[in-house]
A and B are shown apart, each in its own frame.
Chain A
């Protein structure tokens, strides 16, 4: 059943691989409200996939379905070729899915470095006792994890705030720290929930550069939700457009831009 075709090559010459995650006829209801109506799409290895839509279109619900937080009443989610069973959030993380949040969810009292290190949690194997006496394996493991954390700190250019408690940072930097934590998990799929929300033009440009570089440098597969149309069109390889819980467009940014339904949804046409 699954689409296992070979992928495609993007306009800038990147090779996009096979399907990492596929949504098949997903329907999600809250009581009587249908938040998502029969939506299907896939996310391929190495691509930047965007989900856009006006307010209340069901974007965040969709992301929560992808992350396994919501269980759809109908349809099936396939991850790495197999149907995904119902899972707890930590099991999802172990499977290699990391995310950032629309409203930042960091450990405010901890330093930036410690926050990034928590992203390595799923890669640490020594137990509580080993960590406590911190000899041999535990020490070696922490050193190795710290090295990866430092690479990411360097990558996101947050060296100057390495030891600063997160609570003291401005909003834009917190967003970047959250991205660093997600990246530290070395995810096979990274979910970004409105990474540009509340940012000024300069911060948006920085964030866009980081997202592109991340995809380029580490080959990270990224699915993102975003309001800012300009940003989405510049960043993504393929875009899903949602409106009132339905998928109204899916394709390259150019396809989507010329899609009449999408134009109507954004410019506002009365719904019958």
Chain B
């Protein structure tokens, strides 16, 4: 008998692995949970701050909670193969919901909690979810609003009863009540649950995750137990993750990374997942927990660095001098010390003193005192930002991944960390670069299929299992590290035939703290132009310091001095772009500072904050036209969507600026 647990399974908290294929015999999430409850049952599995105190659950308590809910779900009528949507902020209960769904034979589908109701309607309908587990009233309201469009939707379970007392409860159930019902029928339903778990194997579906959808509708990526468990295993081994590690779960539960870190790796390694009290308290909670394994997108690191710098400017003269003195030293020797390279004795003494005076307290404030492994991914990170954290002694590394790969494609091994590569292939991953520059990979993590979308599956994954990343890149010959240039479909040609790689330029622009977001245009055109979003924190702080009055984002964005600063940044970037022979055509000739922030609610960014080029091009067609017709001013009206889904519009007259471009010296010389 081939089962998830091998033969000789006994339920009720105890199991014995007798035989199985593969090394471990742990073929499903429920199997891993049982192992953890047995092997380190009294170790902490989850913490959540609530009512000002960290509440905690051990692995055996977690198993009890998960089983109770699973029994309750079976009692409610969940059938094997059903999809159960999970919507809410990171909370232990919702992680348990996903495991309970698996124990009931169903497939969890975590969805982005900040999606508006109509966005949610699409994924709920597409997944055909019969059951929804929602965090609070806000999520419940959204599902109720669109339930008319969801023929398969039947029942909803909610976690926080607040505000829901008066709702019609014919389709609504409180989480704890479902658990109680499950507990009451434990004896009756346990054999059914055991049967459903027993049929789970490496090929059964573990989870379905929706891509953020840079272009078009989100796609449901089906990941099998093999994908999730194999990837979790090899990546945990790659970084030596231990049972005693701590992570902070604060990124959207619908994102593949969170599923792998907080469910896959957490179960595999048995470490503790910590959930913040609310989204706003994340930084305080980070500091209190002091995670040992930490992931954040570049934007989070950027924001933290900006905050440190702004606060240092308010510090006394002595502290400022000390900070800058030791930071300069850290930049010189910090990364080398971290990589274990030889560093002079006096430099080490000075670094040690710096640790005592500056680095240690600073890391403590940031919540990074205990970080052993830190990752950033999703976007390119500015070299200065990256070096800042590494020089403090924080082992920050980059990885490159995708939902379709169950995250891991490449990662940087300790000691080989650089800001311009994304590392070497992870264990078990094969890479190849097609002649057009697109990166392909094959690994145990390669997804099963796009749900209800055979056409896209075939486009992305070939018969041999190679998957197109959609990114253009190359492998460095001497180091074997992968470097990503841009999204393959965004790489184009300018009218002159020169290569057009917008992301390359945008990243250079975004490395300036004053610039939050940039969008570069130029495909099939004579010259490049750009949209720029200022960073309100950085620019606002600058304005305050220089007594520049402004009443709104729009006014600040249009301030002549701000425009002049941005222009200087653009010209710096042009100079740096000109040095690259291949991409020198991408210098920005004209730009505009946008009057509003690009926003996911307006569809301009994905929920993971990636730029949606086509939509921006359509929406701001009038401004783009003005960028190319030589006009100096452009008047525009833009529709905006508020968080609650209502729409409004803002009008503005924007000034178009021209930026000096640098001569392409090398190219001339080469010819």
B165 within 8 Å of A (CB atoms): yes
Q: Given A157-B278, A159-B278, A160-B278, are A213 and B51 also a contact pair (CB < 8 Å)? A: no
- Interchain CB contact (< 8 A) of B166 among A13, A154, A159, A205: A13
Query: In the bound complex, how far is the Cα of B290 from the Cα of A93, in angstroms?
Result: 43
Residues of B within 8 A of A13 (CB): 166
B192 within 8 Å of A (CB atoms): no
B302 within 8 Å of A (CB atoms): no
Which of A145-153, A190-198, A256-264 lies at the interface?
A: A145-153
Residues of A within 8 A of B53 (CB): 150
B647 within 8 Å of A (CB atoms): no
Q: Given A157-B278, A159-B281, A160-B281, are A150 and B163 also a contact pair (CB < 8 Å)? A: no
- List the B residue with the shortest CB-CB distance to A160: B280
- List the B residue with the shortest CB-CB distance to A155: B162
- List the B residue with the shortest CB-CB distance to A216: B165
Residues of A within 8 A of B162 (CB): 155, 213, 217
B50 within 8 Å of A (CB atoms): yes
Q: For the complex formed, measure the closest distance between the CB of B591 and the CB atoms of chain A, giving whole angstroms.
A: 33
Q: For the complex formed, measure the closest distance between the CB of B116 and the CB atoms of chain A, giving whole angstroms.
A: 16
A14 within 8 Å of B (CB atoms): yes
Interface residues of B in 625-671 (CB under 8 A from A): 644
A154 touches B51 (CB 8 A): yes
A213 touches B281 (CB 8 A): no
Q: Given A159-B278, A160-B281, are A150 and B166 also a contact pair (CB < 8 Å)? A: no
Residues of B within 8 A of A153 (CB): 51-52
A162 within 8 Å of B (CB atoms): yes
Residues of A within 8 A of B165 (CB): 216-217
Interface string of A192-235 (1 = CB under 8 A from B): 00000000000001000100110011000000000000000000
Q: For the complex formed, measure the closest distance between the CB of A111 and the CB atoms of chain B, giving whole angstroms.
A: 12
Query: In the bound complex, how far is the Cα of B163 from the Cα of A155, in angstroms?
Result: 11
Query: In the bound complex, how far is the Cα of B286 from the Cα of A160, in angstroms?
Result: 13
Chain B at the A interface: SS class: loop
B163 touches A216 (CB 8 A): yes
Interface residues of A in 34-74 (CB under 8 A from B): none
Interface residues of A in 135-179 (CB under 8 A from B): 146-147, 150-151, 153-155, 157, 159-160, 162
A6 within 8 Å of B (CB atoms): no
A3 within 8 Å of B (CB atoms): no
A159 touches B163 (CB 8 A): no
- List the B residue with the shortest CB-CB distance to A217: B162
A147 touches B280 (CB 8 A): no
Query: In the bound complex, how far is the Cα of B165 from the Cα of A157, in angstroms?
Result: 19
B548 within 8 Å of A (CB atoms): no
- Interchain CB contact (< 8 A) of A14 among B166, B277, B284, B644: B166
Query: In the bound complex, how far is the Cα of B50 from the Cα of A150, in angstroms?
Result: 9
Query: In the bound complex, how far is the Cα of B160 from the Cα of A155, in angstroms?
Result: 11
A272 within 8 Å of B (CB atoms): no
A209 touches B163 (CB 8 A): yes
Query: In the bound complex, how far is the Cα of B166 from the Cα of A160, in angstroms?
Result: 29
Interface string of B272-284 (1 = CB under 8 A from A): 0000011011001
Q: Given A209-B163, A213-B163, are A160 and B51 also a contact pair (CB < 8 Å)? A: no
Query: In the bound complex, how far is the Cα of B51 from the Cα of A147, in angstroms?
Result: 7
Residues of A within 8 A of B50 (CB): 154
- List the B residue with the shortest CB-CB distance to A161: B280
B51 touches A150 (CB 8 A): yes
Q: For the complex formed, measure the closest distance between the CB of B279 and the CB atoms of chain A, giving whole angstroms.
A: 9
Q: For the complex formed, measure the closest distance between the CB of B607 and the CB atoms of chain A, giving whole angstroms.
A: 21
Residues of A within 8 A of B644 (CB): 205
Q: For the complex formed, measure the closest distance between the CB of A201 and the CB atoms of chain B, giving whole angstroms.
A: 9
Can you sample 20 A-B contacts with CB below 8 Å? A12-B166, A13-B166, A14-B166, A147-B51, A150-B51, A150-B52, A150-B53, A157-B278, A159-B52, A159-B277, A159-B280, A160-B277, A160-B281, A160-B284, A205-B644, A213-B162, A216-B163, A216-B166, A217-B162, A217-B163
Identify 15 new A-B residue pairs, CB closer than 8 A, beyond the known A150-B51, A153-B51, A217-B165.
Answer: A113-B52, A146-B52, A147-B51, A150-B53, A151-B51, A154-B50, A154-B51, A159-B52, A159-B277, A160-B281, A160-B284, A209-B163, A213-B162, A213-B163, A216-B165
Chain A to chain B: the 4 pairs with minimum beta-carbon distance, closest first:
A160-B280, A150-B51, A150-B52, A160-B281
